Structures are given as C-alpha cells and as structure tokens.
Amino acid sequence: MTSVKSLIQQANPIPDATPDAASQTAPHTTPATPAAQARWRVRRAGLALGGLAALAAAVVAVPAVLGPRGEGSGGDPAPPPAADEPYYTTTADLERSADLIVRARLDATRETEEDGVQETVATVSVAATARGETPGRTLQVSYPAPGSGQPDGPGLTVSHEYVLLLDRTDDGGYTLVNTDQGYYGIDAGHAEAGPDNDVALSGKVLAALGLKR
C-alpha cells in the first residue's frame, strides 16, 4: 500500500523540503475501515484541496477483494484493508518528519466523533521546544481514540508530561506523526518510548527539552 508521505508528495508538487535520499520508512499496519483510514490520513497530512481529491479518489478506487471462493462465485469478502502509517527506523528520520517537537503537559482531553470516526483532542501546555515554532503556550493535539482501530490511538494520561512529535494541520491544530512514535512518556527526567517504538530521541533534542538520556 502506498504510504501517507508518498501520497503527500504526489499531491503537493512543491514540497517544503527535499527528503534525504537515505530516508526510508517501513510500513506499520493496523486494521481500519476505509472511511476511517481516509479521514485520518487526510487530517494528518493537512493536504491542499487538490491533494484531498486525489487521496479520496485513491481510496474509492480500491476494488473489493474476495476470499478463496471469490471471483464472483459467492466467495466470502477478504478482511478489510489496513491503515498504512509511516514507521521511522532511525532517530534522524523520525525527528525530521515532525513539524514540531515539544515537551508538554497534557491538561485535558475530549472525545469527538464524525462520520463514525472517533478521535481524542488533547489540550497540552508546552514547557520546551526542540524543533519548530509553537503558536502559543497551549496546543490542540488530535489522535485516534484508544480502541477506535483506525489505527488504535495511544492512551495518554491527563496531568502527565510527554515529548510530542507533531504534524501541523491546516486548521491550526496538530496530530502525532504516527500513533506509535508520536509520543514519549517522561519519567524521572528521561523520555521513554512506547511499547511499539524502538527508536530513541537524539541527545540534541533531549537537551533542548531539559531531559537526560
């Protein structure tokens, strides 16, 4: 399946920056419905109108796949397609993918649902910034709600501090760069990766955020 970033590059003929030739992403897949997959990709990418149309067309054009008894003979449908998120295998690729890297406290969350897609919108207070410029001390960060399966979002906890790696959206909000690597919990001055994230943050980013290796 075509990755989110490759779809963005096709939809945006003038990218913000030339990607490093050595930068590679390995797909990380989690089951999701086509509608949820399309909406979450569009929200994360922050594409222009033309890019949205292209992405929607690509999703609509995916043909139904039949099981072993398929080919129009009454076979059972195959499992639904999987949502394809980028997964960054190196520290440099991961940090470069983010528009904004901050240390922030999660102040409050609320759940939203639109067209059957469930999201969590978190209000966070920024304590330090390692990459990008924040528009203010408070940000709105969206990610799939835990248990939503589109893919399944992280269970971040109110009043806890995190390192957040964020993509900026057109509406002024932010989303995690992906649901596995977009956050690191902070414990005793150290940034701790989530259970499905094997990539550590760089010493430069940790120092800018006042954290230790």
Nearest to 99 by CA among 136, 124, 132: 132
Residue 183 structure tokens: 């956050």
**Which position has the higher pLDDT, 143 or 49?**
143
Looking at residues 9-21, what average pLDDT do you find? 46
Average pLDDT, the chain: 74
> How big is the chain by its Cα radius of gyration, in Å?
18
| 3 state DSSP class of 84 | strand
Least-confidence region, from 1-5, 8-12, 55-59, 108-112: 55-59
Average pLDDT (66-91) is 56
Report the distance separating Cα 10 and Cα 59, nearest Å.
Answer: 15
Q: What is the secondary structure of 48-83 as a DSSP string? A: -HHHHHHHHHHHHTPPP-B-TT-TTSSPPBPPPPEE
pTM of the model: 0.63
* pLDDT of the residue at 202: 98
Amino acid at 190: H
pLDDT in tens, 91-139: 999 999 999 999 999 999 999 987 788 999 999 999 999 999 998 999 9
Tens of pLDDT, residue by residue over 186-206, are 999 999 999 999 999 999 999
Count of CB atoms situated within 10 Å of the CB of 148: 21
Query: Between 52 and 159, where is the model more confident?
Result: 159
SS3 per residue for 179-208: CCCCEEEEECCEEEECCCCCCCCCHHHHHH
The DSSP H or E segment spanning 29 is: strand 25-31
